[in-house]
Structure 1
């Protein structure tokens, strides 16, 4: 999992979930995050990726960058299609 490579939706989601598991005051946070994300990520890459995420959020919140248009994750897209066919929601 090279730090400069493009991540999939699932990889980004996993990274965000793991960040929530390991709060800022967690000892060895970046080692724990890297290990939990997997894919050969190092602690340094985990911290670098987090810093990029923080910068992106700051740019979006300041209005300097438009809010990204995320696609629907594959599992959710299939569930939405199935619900539409049966007339059910949620």
Structure 2
């Protein structure tokens, strides 16, 4: 099992996905090089991302409850 991804790796992953689209030759190798992970790791991470998006789109992930500051002026 791969270790957890850092915030920096996640940000690099997002940027690499935007840079290397589906039509890019060796897309996954390029993304892996940017992130510093294996091709297998980035493919697994991408599948997890797709599942997360799917759950969000189907309303299966609750919105976070934020505290609101109620101030009167």
Superposition TM-score tier, normalisation by shorter sequence = 0.7 to 0.9
Q: 1:32 aligns with which of 20, 30, 33?
A: 30
Structure 2: unaligned runs, 5 residues or longer: 66-73
Deviating above 6 A after TM superposition, structure 1's stretches of 4 or more consecutive aligned residues are none
Structure 1: unaligned runs, 5 residues or longer: 70-90
| TM-score normalised according to structure 2 size | 0.76
| TM-score normalised according to structure 1 size | 0.63
- Once the 2 structures are TM-superposed, how far is the Cα of residue 8 of structure 1 from its aligned partner? 2.5
Report the equivalent of 2:71: none
Report the equivalent of 1:59: 55
